[in-house]
């Protein structure tokens, strides 16, 4: 399908031959006008000719003046005199006239003659009312004179023909030629380009018909066909639908050669991403009736190409193997079908060059240069060559710190690590700069500038490093502005901040404040911006938050030999009324138990960090030997005492009824028959520096708890429990977790120690792979009872699967056991399990799906492992 563009311009030139050659400009002499008016309007004598002249100049005329030796006449003496003036000034046309003004009305009488013609002058006349109307009448007058001078014609109509699908009005919106305006070949030419620019037409022609009152301009268009079917040939790697998803043309689209070419590039791109670098794509069309075509992309996939060799040139110090380990790009291997080894991704390769450059500069090769990779596509594989110019290796010389020192030189030097390195290391220098900057910012110098000055000794191959410090002004927070919190109250945010208005700036405390806000888990994102205040030593801190849902509906479930199938659910609000208060209603329904609980927490009682809470619960439990119906409640308080450390104290009151005791139940259970009252006091201390509560990446979580029961009532015991947990950031955004806990309980003299207060293990929150409470201590009759002691260890390796989506994978190892009253803790009898799973902080809340596999099953354990899950939904 050919685009016939130049023939249109030729037709335009043939239709209007005056455009085929250049014409000299028409020369026009305009004489001063005579003014007849009762008031003094003499200024119009020259202003009227200037207005007419400017319009004629814009139309292409050249305005000339009388020769200097000829004076401008005050009165026109006759046509022959006028003609003579035109000849003397070499003008083609002479214009003169008069303005008559009576009251508010005026009339313009204008004449124009050709200087070298005997024709009588042409007469033009306009009249109007008031000064405002004079400008419009002069424009109309100039237009009429221009039509006469340039032999211009008016456009009486604009017509579009040949269009079927594209509406004429849509085409006319791209046409500048309008009925009633002077015909312009330049405008028509631009109209042709504009219509072609719509991309809907194969052919556009323009014709003109002469009418008594002007010209009719006709645009005749031939529409491009539309695509009826898009199909593919030769594709084996991708299905038709997979390719079609990457195209930006669809069935019914206008056939456009540019769009087809662009989509060929898209198809080739998706093949090259799969390492089919020799792919070739062409197209063919089948013309149909009704201006339609079928489009077929013809694909020659070629063979899959992978990287067979990565070659380094110029690496004398480090081996090829050492450098390859730094790269994400790798050579094809036996496991390439399973991994991405051998795949060529240019983005990864560019990053590899940056990694290699950084590696050399971090090992003393300051002048090292890593060239752009040379990629060769051979017959059946890819070869990558990377050229390296190592240069000499520089050792660390003298290290010093100068400038504005807020501490002694010795104290500052303790923060500097480069002096401990043998070879110059750019990364260590950067860390030193950050450490010094943070130190100064903690003292209020928010804009401190630390610049490392590198002095190379080419002969000795040493680098002297001097950190020059310009501390700047000591800055304080003039104002703290919080935005974006439509639900959370300002004071809930401000009480988590450790920086305050009018206090000195502190980078460390600002970072800690942001960590506190993230730990609230009220916000999707928190943006911090600092701006200069009203003075040079003041700063405005802006905190902009994006709130997220803090209400949650969660549910979970599982299966155990005790409960059979069970479900757990809760509904909670962690930011009640935007006050930071927590309200939660939880329920558990299973084959053996039903439990409901309601709790309320005020984290800042009396506007101080004193947390207070109330708990109420109703718990019905069917054990194998008895049933327990309990109702109770309690109050709790906690207060921060150190960084990340809180102490707490709580009181619990429970009234439990033990019924339906089996005949073969143990003596200790039968002693509980009837109603028992437990009144206990519990105190604890917890250190929690985790950066977030779900999927932490760093921090620690330790706790020690002591519970004393026996303040009245029938139940009496002392229970000690402790836990240690450390999250360790590892390589590639992975995290390691080491968590251990243990407990010990002893009975008070003259009181009862119920079995339900003893220790059991098993389930998603302790030893995975075992049923809930499936690790126990058999009593003297072999019946299932809880232990007086327990130990537990959990090791986890957490790694990102889809980082942006918050999907994490986990591999774990669990071990632990419970022990009877007279048993010592025997680490040789620990139960063990291992497994893996997924954790996802989804839009509907946190989800855990994990499978545990028992490593040391006993004869009574029929299965070696099981799936466990916990899910939640946010609102």
Nearest CA to 27 out of 92, 116, 115, 111 is that of 92
In sequence order, the β-bridge partners of residue 551 are 573
Q: Reply yes or no on whether the pLDDT at 88 is more than 80.
A: yes
Calpha distance 354→368 (Å, rounded): 12
Strand-pairing partners, residue 738, are 726, 795
**What's the rounded Cα separation, in Å, for the pair 776 and 782?**
11
DSSP letter at 292?
A: E
b/e string for 189-226 if b means 16 or more Cβ within 10 A? bebbeebbebebbbbbbbebeeeeebbebbbebebbbb
Mean per-residue pLDDT for 82-108? 88
List pLDDT tens digits, range 121-140.
Answer: 989 999 999 888 888 899 88
For range 599-608, the mean pLDDT: 92
Residues 6+ apart with CB under 8 A from 387: 312, 313, 314, 370, 371, 374
- Per the CB < 8 A criterion, the answer to whether 231 and 285 are in contact is no
Q: What is the pLDDT of residue 19?
A: 37
CB–CB of 816/766 below 8 Å?
A: yes
Select from 123, 116, 158, 118 the least CA-distant residue to 144: 123
For residue 581, give every residue at least 6 positions away whose Cβ sits within 8 Å of its Cβ, in sequence order, or none: 575, 600, 601, 602, 603
- pLDDT at position 12 is 43
Q: What is the predicted pLDDT for the residue at 347?
A: 86
H/E element, 638: strand 627-642
Strand partners, 596: 587, 618
Question: Among residues of the chain, what percentage have pLDDT more than 70?
Answer: 92
* pLDDT band for position 7 (cuts 50, 70, 90): very low
Question: Residue 736: phi, psi to the nearest 5?
Answer: -110, 145
* pTM greater than 0.85 (yes/no): no
Average pLDDT of the chain is 86
Other CB atoms within 10 Å distance of the CB of residue 792 = 22
Q: State the average pLDDT over residues 563-577.
A: 77
Average pLDDT over residues 541-563: 72
DSSP code of residue 752: B
Angle between the N-to-C axes of helices 131-150 and 44-59, in degrees from 0 to 180, rounded to the nearest 10? 40
pLDDT > 90? residue 602:
yes
CB of 76 closer than 8 Å to CB of 35: no
Residue 741 contacts residue 714 (beta carbons within 8 Å): no
The pLDDT, as a whole number, for residue 567 is 75
Kindly indicate the confidence band of residue 666, based on its pLDDT and cuts at 50, 70 and 90. low
**Position 554 pLDDT exceeds 80:** no
Q: Per residue in 607-628, pLDDT tens?
A: 899 999 999 999 887 776 778 8
pLDDT digits (tens, 9 = 90+) for 351-379: 999 999 999 999 999 999 999 999 988 87
Confidence of residue 203 (pLDDT cuts 50, 70, 90): confident
Inform me whether the pLDDT recorded for 872 exceeds 60: no
DSSP 280: E
The larger pLDDT score, comparing residue 121 to residue 593, is at 121
Pairing of strands 627-642, 645-659: antiparallel
The label of the residue with tokens 């119920």 reads: 754
Give the pLDDT band (50/70/90) at residue 2. Answer: very low
The CA dihedral of 16, 17, 22, 23, to the nearest 10 degrees, is: -80
* Least confident range of 251-265, 455-469, 856-870: 856-870
> Half-sphere exposure (CA, 13 Å, Cβ side) for 770?
25
3-state per-residue secondary structure call for 5-30: CHHHHHHHHHHCHHHCCCCCCCEEEE
Query: 358, exposed or middle or buried, with CB in 10 Å at 0-12, 13-18, 19+?
Result: middle
Q: What is the pLDDT of residues 758-785, one digit of tens each?
A: 999 998 889 999 887 789 888 777 777 8
- With CA atoms as reference, report the closest residue to 610 among 643, 638, 580, 649: 638
Report the alpha-carbon distance of residue 205 to residue 446 in Å, rounded. 69
Res 255 pLDDT > 90: no
Query: Residue 85 phi/psi, 5° resolution?
Result: -60, -35
What's residue 628's pLDDT?
84
Q: Is the pLDDT of residue 562 over 50?
A: no
Judge whether residue 23 has pLDDT over 60: no
Q: 3-state SS of the chain: helix, strand, coil percent to 5?
A: 20, 45, 35
pLDDT of residue 814 exceeding 50: yes
What is the reported pLDDT for 4? 38
Higher pLDDT, 559 or 841: 841
pLDDT at position 556 is: 62
Output 410 or 562, whichever has higher pLDDT: 410
Instruction: Give pLDDT, residue 92.
Output: 86
Structure confidence at residue 544 as a pLDDT band (50, 70, 90)? very high
What is the reported pLDDT for 618?
Answer: 93
Residue entry with tokens 């006028």: 82
Does residue 153 have a pLDDT over 70?
yes
Confidence of residue 324 (pLDDT cuts 50, 70, 90): very high
Asked if pLDDT for residue 696 goes beyond 60, the answer is yes
pLDDT value at 581 more than 70: yes
Mean of the pLDDT values across residues 43-48?
90
DSSP lists the bridge partners of residue 183 as none
Residue 875 CA to residue 843 CA, distance in Å, equals 10
Instruction: Answer whether 307's CB lies under 8 Å from 330's CB.
Output: yes
When comparing pLDDT for 278 and 796, which is higher? Answer: 796
User: Within 10 A of 68 (CB to CB), how many other CB atoms are there?
Assistant: 6
Mean pLDDT within 93-114: 90
Looking at residue 24, what is its pLDDT? 60
pLDDT at position 73:
67
391 by DSSP, 3-state: which?
Answer: coil
Which carries the bigger pLDDT value, residue 55 or residue 736?
A: 736
Rounded CA-CA distance 634/615 in Å is 5
Closest CA to 732 of 834, 809, 814: 809
**Euclidean distance between the first and the last CA atom of the chain, given in angstroms as a whole number:** 58
pLDDT band at 338 (very low <50, low <70, confident <90, very high): low
| Mean pLDDT score, 678-689 | 95
pLDDT higher than 70, residue 10: no
Supply the pLDDT for residue 9: 41
């Amino acid at each position: 399908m050919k685009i016939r563009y130049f023939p249109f311009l030729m037709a335009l030139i043939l239709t209007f031959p005056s455009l085929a050659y250049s014409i000299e400009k028409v020369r026009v002499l305009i004489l001063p006008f005579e003014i007849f008016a009762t008031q003094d309007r003499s200024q119009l004598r020259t202003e009227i000719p200037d207005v007419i002249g400017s319009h004629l100049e814009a139309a292409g005329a050249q305005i000339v003046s009388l020769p200097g030796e000829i004076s401008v006449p005050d009165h026109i003496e006759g046509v022959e005199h006028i003609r003579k003036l035109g000849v003397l000034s070499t003008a083609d046309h002479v214009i003169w006239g008069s303005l008559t003004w009576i009251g508010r009305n005026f009339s313009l009488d204008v004449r124009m003659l050709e200087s070298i013609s005997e024709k009588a002058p042409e007469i033009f006349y306009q009249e109007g009312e008031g000064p405002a109307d004079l400008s419009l009448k002069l424009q109309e007058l100039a237009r009429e004179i221009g039509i006469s001078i340039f032999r211009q014609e008016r456009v009486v109509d604009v017509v579009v023909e040949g269009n079927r699908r594209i509406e004429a009005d849509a085409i006319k919106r791209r046409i500048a030629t309008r009925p009633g305006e002077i015909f312009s070949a330049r405008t028509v030419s631009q109209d042709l380009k504009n219509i072609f620019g719509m991309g809907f037409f194969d052919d556009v022609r323009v014709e003109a018909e002469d009418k008594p009152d002007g010209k009719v301009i006709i645009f005749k268009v031939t529409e491009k066909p539309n695509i009826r079917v898009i199909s593919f040939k030769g594709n084996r790697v991708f299905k038709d639908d997979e390719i079609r998803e990457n195209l930006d043309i669809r069935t019914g689209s206008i056939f456009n050669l540019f769009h087809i070419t662009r989509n060929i590039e898209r198809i080739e791109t998706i093949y090259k991403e799969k390492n089919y670098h020799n792919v070739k794509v062409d197209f063919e069309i089948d013309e149909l009736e009704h201006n339609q075509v079928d489009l077929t992309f013809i694909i020659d996939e070629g063979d899959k190409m992978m990287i067979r060799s990565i070659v380094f040139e110029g690496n004398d110090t480090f081996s090829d193997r050492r450098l390859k380990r730094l790269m994400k790009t790798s050579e094809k291997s036996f496991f390439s079908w399973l991994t991405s080894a051998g795949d060529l991704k240019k983005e990864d390769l560019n990053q590899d060059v940056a990694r290699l450059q950084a590696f050399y500069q971090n090992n003393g090769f300051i002048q090292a240069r890593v060239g752009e990779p040379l990629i060769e596509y051979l017959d059946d594989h890819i070869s990558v060559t990377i050229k390296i110019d190592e240069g000499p290796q520089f050792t660390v010389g003298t290290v010093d710190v100068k400038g504005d020192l807020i501490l002694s030189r010795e104290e500052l030097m303790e923060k500097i690590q480069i002096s401990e390195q043998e070879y110059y290391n750019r990364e260590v220098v950067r860390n030193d700069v950050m450490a010094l900057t943070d130190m100064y910012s903690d003292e209020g110098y928010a804009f401190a500038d630390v610049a490392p000055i590198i002095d190379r000794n080419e002969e000795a191959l040493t680098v002297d490093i001097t950190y020059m410090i310009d501390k700047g002004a000591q800055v304080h927070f003039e104002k703290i502005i919080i935005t974006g919190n439509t639900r959370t109250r300002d004071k809930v945010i401000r009480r988590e901040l450790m920086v305050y208005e009018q206090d000195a700036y502190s980078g460390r405390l600002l970072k800690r404040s942001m960590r506190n806000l993230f730990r609230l888990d009220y916000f999707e994102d928190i943006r911090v911006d600092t701006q200069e205040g009203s003075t040079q030593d003041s700063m405005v801190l802006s905190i902009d938050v994006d709130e997220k849902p803090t209400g949650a509906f969660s549910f979970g479930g599982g299966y155990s030999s005790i409960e059979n199938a069970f479900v757990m659910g809760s509904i909670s609000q962690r930011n009640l009324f935007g006050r930071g208060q927590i309200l939660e209603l939880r329920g558990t329904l299973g084959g053996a138990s039903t439990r409901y609980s309601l709790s309320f927490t005020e984290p800042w009682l009396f506007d101080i960090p004193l947390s207070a809470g109330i708990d109420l619960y109703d718990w019905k439990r069917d054990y194998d030997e008895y049933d327990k119906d309990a109702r109770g409640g309690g109050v709790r308080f906690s207060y921060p005492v150190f960084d990340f450390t809180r102490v707490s104290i709580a009181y619990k009151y429970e009234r439990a009824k033990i019924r339906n005791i089996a005949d073969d139940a143990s003596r200790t259970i039968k002693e509980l028959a009837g109603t028992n009252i437990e009144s206990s006091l519990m105190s604890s201390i917890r250190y929690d520096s985790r950066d977030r509560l779900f999927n932490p990446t760093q921090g620690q979580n330790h706790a020690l708890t002591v519970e004393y029961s026996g303040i009245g009532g029938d139940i009496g015991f002392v229970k000690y429990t402790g836990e240690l947990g450390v999250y360790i950031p590892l390589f590639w955004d992975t995290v390691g977790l080491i968590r251990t806990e243990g407990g010990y309980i002893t009975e008070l003299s003259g009181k009862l120690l119920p079995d339900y207060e003893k220790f059991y293990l098993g389930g998603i929150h302790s030893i995975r792979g075992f049923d809930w409470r499936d690790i126990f201590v058999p009593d003297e009759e072999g019946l299932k009872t809880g232990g007086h002691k327990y130990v537990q260890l959990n090791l986890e390796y957490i790694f990102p699967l889809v980082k942006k989506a918050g999907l994490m994978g986990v591999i774990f190892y669990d071990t632990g056991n419970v022990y009877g009253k007279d048993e010592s803790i025997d680490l040789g009898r620990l139960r063990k399990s291992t497994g893996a799973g997924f954790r996802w902080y989804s839009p509907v809340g946190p989800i855990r799906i994990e499978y545990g596999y028992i490593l040391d099953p006993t004869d009574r354990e029929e299965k070696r492992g099981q799936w466990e899950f916990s899910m939640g939904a946010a609102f």
